[in-house]
Amino acid sequence: MNEASLPYPGDRRRAAALKWSRWSTWYLSLLKVAVGLLLVLLIALLWLLQRNEIDEQRSTLIADVLWLEQSLRFHIEGHADQLQQLALDLARTKSQHELFDLRARHILKNNPEIRQLLWLDEASRAVYGMPTPSLPRVGQEALAENPVKRSVELARLGKPIYSDAYQGSDGAQFEVYVPIFNAGHYRGTLLAVYSLTALLTQQVPWWFAEKYQVRIVDGNGSPLASKSRVDASPTTLSYPVTLDPPGYGMVLQVTAYRGAGNVAQTLIATLIIILAAAVFWSLWAVRGLIKRRLAAEQALRSEYAFRKAMEDSLWVGMRARDLDGRVTYANPAFLQMVGFSAAELIGREPPMPYWAPEEMERTLLLHNKVLEGNAPLEGFEIRLMRKDGSRFDALIYEAPLIDADGTQSGWMGSIIDVTARKEAEEVARQQQEKLQVTARLVTMGEMASTLAHELNQPLAAITSYNAGCLNKLASGNYSAAQLTEALEKLAVQAQRAGRIIRRVHDFVRKSEPRLAPCDLAEVIDDSIGFIEGAAKSRGVRIVREIQGMRPQLMADQVMLQQVLLNLMRNGIEAMSDGPADRRRLTVKLGQLDNQMEIRVVDRGPGIPAEIEEKLFTPLFSTKADGMGMGLSICRSIIEFHHGRLWVEANRDGGSIFFITLPIDRQ
């Protein structure tokens, strides 16, 4: 939807939230893929690095091992050469002992790995030896095959011979046998005893030992000698190479140590993987969070949509104001009511454009009252102005606006357009009034014959007085006093007729209800005077029990008369068919605390319970020609005077209609 076309900021917010939610889902998936890929690539990179390094280490190891093997071989072969040279020199010289002693001492001194040098004669007996002349492997001569003898035999063939390795006093040892020939004749053998351990100690350089563990193992793989660091642990990276000489399956085995750099690298790799895993995990956690947030937002959106739909469907206007009285929100119903747009109202400060100028002062007063927190709980009515200048009546209820933190952020008012209701009330009031007048006219019509009869009496009297006067005048036999008396009586009758006419006039005149101080006793007397004739014609006696009271109260006299006449007429009609001695209607005035009470008591048949319920409802009548409006109008008149009208059964038979009217109302 085009955001600009959205009329309310709420709609725009909702659209933005929807966009964000879609975007965040995408973003999250992308992020997950990226981090997963990063993790895989990291592991692959580390693996490749490791492999490269292992390959490199392996090549270096092989090169180093070959170098060591070569250097050992050269070294041992160098000794053999030295011994061969000594053998030659021994064959040639006379002073053999001195020569041997000198050279052997020299060789032993420079080559600590050679533990012993022996000169054996043709019979393999030690002629001379350094440091001792005793043969190696003592105790083994008894064996069937003495290894020394066997080696000597082999050496006689002319080449230096190496023995296999064996455990001597100084760890694993081996020997080299070099024959001595003189003019083609075998003259003996030179024998050198090597300590393998010493050989490694002497010949393996320190830097080599730092990097590798060097071992010499026999054909079965059991170690013969080794040179290793105490503190290091070897890896699986190892390379064996045959050690020849001396041969006999002896193998030089070199194993690389786990380098410090290697440990650091492993540590870094481990850390990288842990960190990547942590990133992945936190992403997972964030995903959970975002999911929860999205769910909450979704719930909020639904809630908002629900609330919005509710607000939009409301016909009650809603208008929020902050604590300074600035309009912060107005619902569509209110906007429609006043005819302004949201943009024209939001942010406006008092005076508002919808305040009617003629009510400005009162509106401002009420506005301030609301802001002070003194808005009337039952709401208040006020006249407001639409944008087109027309006015309408509004009923407003104000309530504090509490935000999410529980603090008051302003006021929310609900506004109801009561113009139609007020108009309807006015129409109803006018109709009621018309009805009352009509009812009065009807009453009057009903009493017309009685009134005509009543009026007839004074008129007849006037006519007879008039005729009497004329007769007297015609006879000439009259005194002024006589005429005066007759004319005075005539005047009394004329006044009586006039009173009847005035009463009728007063009673039927159409006027708005007018409250004025009035005397209840007078109202009762007037009403009795009015209906007395009708009562008489039905043989009903009206008893007046006022006991000299003259209570004054604010009322519409004609209306009260209408009520009394109606009640008295009903009573008279109710008794007209009853026995003549029971036809008595009592009108009683009394006072109860701060209210006056009028009782209209008849002795008719009374009112059955099922009728009593409907008695005051309009159009209810049991009479063939009855309108059924009388009692309903009576009750509304009494309620207009803030009094009550009800009926009770008379214990003496008949009914008692009660009217109470408050005295102290102004």
**Contact residues: ligand ADP, CB under 6 A:** 566, 570-571, 574, 602, 604, 607, 615, 620-623, 626-628, 630-631, 655
Give the nearer residue to ligand ADP in terms of CB position, either 197 or 443.
Answer: 443
Give the nearer residue to ligand ADP in terms of CB position, either 61 or 574.
Answer: 574
Give the nearer residue to ligand ADP in terms of CB position, either 193 or 563.
Answer: 563
Q: Are 291 and 105 in contact (CB under 8 A)?
A: no
Q: How far is the CB of 605 from ligand ADP (least distance, A)?
A: 6
Secondary structure of residue 254 in the 3-state scheme: strand
Q: How far is the CB of 473 from ligand ADP (least distance, A)?
A: 51
Q: How far is the CB of 602 from ligand ADP (least distance, A)?
A: 5
Q: How far is the CB of 534 from ligand ADP (least distance, A)?
A: 14
Alpha-helix runs per DSSP H in 509-555 = 520-537
d(CA 269, CA 664): 99
Cβ-count burial of 330 within 10 angstroms (0-12 exposed, 13-18 middle, 19+ buried)? buried
Give the nearer residue to ligand ADP in terms of CB position, either 590 or 618.
Answer: 618
Q: How far is the CB of 608 from ligand ADP (least distance, A)?
A: 9
Q: How far is the CB of 468 from ligand ADP (least distance, A)?
A: 44
**Residue 464, both tokens:** 């007879």
Q: How far is the CB of 652 from ligand ADP (least distance, A)?
A: 13
d(CA 560, CA 598): 11
Tokens 């209607």 correspond to what residue?
Answer: 585
Give the nearer residue to ligand ADP in terms of CB position, either 234 or 628.
Answer: 628
Residue 131: which region, alpha, beta or left (left: phi > 0; alpha: psi -120 to 50)?
Answer: alpha
E strands, 109-211, in order: 114-120, 126-130, 161-162, 166-168, 171-182, 185-195
Give the nearer residue to ligand ADP in terms of CB position, either 165 or 531.
Answer: 531
Q: Which of 577, 572, 599, 573 is nearest to 587 (CA)?
A: 599
Q: How far is the CB of 443 from ligand ADP (least distance, A)?
A: 10
Give the nearer residue to ligand ADP in terms of CB position, either 180 or 567.
Answer: 567
Residue of this chain nearest to ligand ADP (CB atom) = 630
Q: Which helix (H) or strand (E) holds 391?
A: strand 391-402
Q: How far is the CB of 452 from ligand ADP (least distance, A)?
A: 22
Q: Are 454 and 534 in contact (CB under 8 A)?
A: no
d(CA 261, CA 507): 123
Q: What is the DSSP letter of 11?
A: H
Give the nearer residue to ligand ADP in terms of CB position, either 466 or 621.
Answer: 621
d(CA 571, CA 576): 9
Give the nearer residue to ligand ADP in terms of CB position, either 135 or 572.
Answer: 572
Q: How distant, in Å, are the alpha carbons of 352, 393, 485 from that of 417? A: 17, 6, 70
Q: How far is the CB of 377 from ligand ADP (least distance, A)?
A: 38
Q: Which of 187, 179, 183 is nearest to 161 (CA)?
A: 179
Q: Are 147 and 117 in contact (CB under 8 A)?
A: no
Q: How far is the CB of 432 from ligand ADP (least distance, A)?
A: 15
**Residue 148, both tokens:** 């020394």
Give the nearer residue to ligand ADP in terms of CB position, either 396 or 564.
Answer: 564
3-state helix, strand, coil in the chain (%, to 5): 50, 20, 25
d(CA 213, CA 255): 5
Strand partners, 545: 588
**Residue 425, both tokens:** 């009330």
Give the nearer residue to ligand ADP in terms of CB position, either 205 or 608.
Answer: 608
